[in-house]
Amino acid sequence: MTPSRKIIHCDCDCFYAAVEMRDDPSLRGRPLAVGGQPDQRGVVATCNYEARHFGVRSAMATSQALKRCPDLVVLPPAMEKYRVASRQILAIYRDYTDAVEPLSLDEAYLDVTSATHFKGSGTLIAQDIRARIAKTVGITASAGVAPNKFLSKIASDWNKPDGLFVIRPHEIDAFVAVLPVEKLFGVGKVTAAKLKRLGAHHCADLRNWSMGDLQHHFGKFGERLFDLCRGIDQRDVCATRERKSISVEETYVVDLPDLGACAQQLSVLLESLARSVQRLKS
């Protein structure tokens, strides 16, 4: 019998904002966002939990965030500072396993199935990682431990902030059955709305559908839904990930007046894209 995998998903709590509060303790307890300025069409990159209490969210226009929370402190991103913290965090992860799949500066999957630390206990490894991040980097991290990536990511969000949640193999069936369909990996607002129109509000509802029914309504993604609603996810933790695309973008402070003006900006964007491609090749 193949032993169950032990996958940890680690995610630092409001990472950019946490680093800023670490460096300036006077910001603690105040609503804080890191992002662009409202007069330059800025958006919120991340915000702390005090700001989230007012309905401020990542990717929200900064101007809208300030309407919801007039006392919001908005700081510009300090990316090099965040990268330094990220390197420290990744070094901690790699002390436990080489199978680390970074998803962003502060978030990663770890496969600790074969780890020898703490006699192979995924729970104790996750606890130790969180303690070391707090001591070394000065911020908190949440973690989820489960037999696959899908469940570990859900688990890491279960007790945020500064929390740990474990889903053991014998708990999977009951845990997943009551999950809302919007919690499924790859299910966005449109797909969730369609599922609910068809009478599927929780994973237990989806289990009544055959593979054919799901494929009929959702195409190839139906196969994925069939597995996920049963807590099945065979994806490996990939330490090396192939880049699938590259892009550039620009937010203009003043509206471009017409299609001709937009076309004139294409050459600038294409030059920027070419430079990015060249940097990746070098």
Active site residues: 107
In whole angstroms, how far apart are CA 202 and each of 119, 189, 206, 218? 36, 15, 7, 17
Measure the CA–CA gap between 138 and 222, rounded to whole angstroms. Answer: 43
**DSSP label at residue 61:** B
Residue of 208, 209, 229, 212 lying closest to 220 (CA atoms): 212
Q: Is the peptide bond before 161 cis (omega within 30 degrees of 0)?
A: yes
d(CA 74, CA 39): 12
**Strands (DSSP E) found in 116-220:** 141-146, 164-166
Number of Cβ within 10 Å of residue 57's Cβ equals 15
Q: Which residues of 234-264 are buried (b: 16+ CB within 10 A; e: fewer)?
A: eeebebeeeeeeeeeeeeeeeeeeeeeeeee
Tokens 């695309």, residue located: 245
Q: In what order do the strands lie in the sheet with 73-75?
A: 44-47, 32-35, 73-75
The 10 Å Cβ neighbour count of residue 73 is: 19
3-state secondary structure of 108: strand
